[in-house]
Amino acid sequence: MSPEKHNLHERYDLVVIGGGPVGLATALECAKAGQKTLVLEQSVFYNQSGSSGDLVRMFRTAYTEDFMATLAVQAMSLWDELEKEAGEPLRLMSGLLNFGDPQYGEGGPEGTLMGPIKNLDKYHMKYTKLDRDGIQKNFPFQNLPDNWEGIDMPDNGCINVPLLLRTLHRLCHALGVVLFDYATVKQIFPDKTKIYPPANWIIEGTMRGPKGASAYAQNFAFRTDKVAITPGAYVNHILYPSFGFTLDVNIWEMVYEYYAIDPSIQFDKMWFQFQEDSSVGGKPVSNLFYGFPSVPWGPPNMCRIAVDTATNVIADPDQRKYPVISPEDLENTREWIHKHVLGVGPHPVPVFAGTCLQTNVSDNMFVLDFVPDRYLRHAVPSGGLDKTIVVFTAGWAMKFVPLLGRVLKELLLDGKSKYDVSQFSIDRKPGGIPIIRDGPVDRTRCATMHHVGSSLHGLGH
């Protein structure tokens, strides 16, 4: 949207920082509730720069944790509502096969392959157990270990990410949400202008146009009562200059690859493989792989297959290795495909590959909470502005987008949500270590760390 036609000091009921799927879903819910809403996106809408790049994500209901399984089931009806409003499906309900070593993760925090069954039974979700022979007979896998098992679950599917983003943007626009791209937020601070009607906060930053860095920058200072901070990996670019704290995030440069599959091979489900790490040269190498079928909105006979880890792990998105797609992750996946996937030919090579930024905290769960009042009081010592700014980041969120939009709206407008999001407190201390850190991001933190398989712990793709 062109800034020339708008007052860059206008007052809004609510401002959303970050125009990805969660930010747009939040704006949509707030607009439905009658709020005058603004979305500020630093890139272009539908961009490939953050966590919503590429074509597909998993919609799944298989969770070991009771609270995650409950939220997944609650999200199903909200997806149905969104698709009805969209006028077309946003998911391809292809089903999901989880398979692998039945002892994977036994005794550990991530749960086992069969761990979700208790919640599938609780919510009357259909599933079929398979042994190794059943997996290889019904799916295009080969050379699997004799003791491997699988769970085939039909109530899962592939999310059409490009269509989801465009649908949310279209619905927001139809409800009068003001949508600015090329808008980089620099700081949030208290509104002391004494302009009527009064507001709680000023959102300050710069706005450019399609020419990018060469475009003339215009400064904005929007006034608002409520703020949703939803910029994914860029969350600390807002939190530190505004409130003096950061979140202890690890940002994975996750690699995805597309392989050409023999069109006579039926590759019609999402899948996830469970297996303990290997060791190469004394370093752990992940054996957690996942894949998607060839989808109607993607290139024909191309399946996305990737490893569920990242060799390149950074503390700040400005450290992203733009020209480098991890050769270790590419080769690890290629070797596994060569050994275990039918229909890829004798020398599988990815047709194309890319990366997206996956933001994690130490327990691999969402951060979904208000900015703590103690930090707001740094800006406003007299208080009174608690529960006016909410933060969402981290975790694999795509499958929960409609629910997260609803939760963020309820938190901002009602001060609480009817959904149980207590596990995602910003003040929690996984393993006794806080997620919040006073001060700026420590950019040296991730250099020697190795991260694998967080999707199995709770959130997934």
Strands (E) in 278-318, as ranges, are: 278-280, 283-285, 289-291, 302-307, 313-314
Q: How confident is the model at residue 110 (pLDDT cuts 50, 70, 90)?
A: low
Rounded to whole angstroms, the Cα distance separating 161 from 168 reads 11
Rounded to whole angstroms, the Cα distance separating 26 from 404 reads 7
Q: Are strands 96-100 and 270-274 parallel, antiparallel or unpaired?
A: parallel
DSSP 279: E
Is there a contact between 227 and 388 (Cβ–Cβ < 8 Å)? Answer: yes
Q: DSSP for 45-94?
A: TT-SSSSS-SSEEEE----SSHHHHHHHHHHHHHHHHHHHHHTS-SEE--
Segment 360-376 shows an average pLDDT of 95
pLDDT over 90 (residue 210): no
Q: What is the pLDDT of residues 73-99, one digit of tens each?
A: 999 999 999 999 999 999 999 999 999
pLDDT over 60 (residue 450): no
Rounded to whole angstroms, the Cα distance separating 155 from 60 reads 7
Q: How confident is the model at residue 105 (pLDDT cuts 50, 70, 90)?
A: confident
pLDDT over 80 (residue 3): no
Is there a contact between 236 and 251 (Cβ–Cβ < 8 Å)? Answer: no
Q: What is residue 333's predicted lDDT score, i.e. its pLDDT?
A: 96
Rounded to whole angstroms, the Cα distance separating 112 from 127 reads 16
Q: How confident is the model at residue 458 (pLDDT cuts 50, 70, 90)?
A: very low
Q: What is residue 282's predicted lDDT score, i.e. its pLDDT?
A: 83
Q: What is the pLDDT of residues 13-63, one digit of tens each?
A: 999 999 999 999 999 999 999 999 999 999 999 988 888 889 999 999 999
Rounded to whole angstroms, the Cα distance separating 396 from 460 reads 6
Rounded to whole angstroms, the Cα distance separating 234 from 242 reads 13
316 to 187, 397, 436: CA distances (angstroms): 17, 19, 15
Segment 304-323 shows an average pLDDT of 93
Segment 358-367 shows an average pLDDT of 94
Q: How confident is the model at residue 128 (pLDDT cuts 50, 70, 90)?
A: very high
Is there a contact between 334 and 306 (Cβ–Cβ < 8 Å)? Answer: no
403 to 21, 55, 228: CA distances (angstroms): 11, 21, 15
pLDDT over 90 (residue 174): yes
Q: What is the pLDDT of residues 268-303, one digit of tens each?
A: 899 999 999 988 888 889 999 999 999 999 999 999
pLDDT over 80 (residue 445): no
Q: Are strands 218-229 and 11-17 parallel, antiparallel or unpaired?
A: parallel
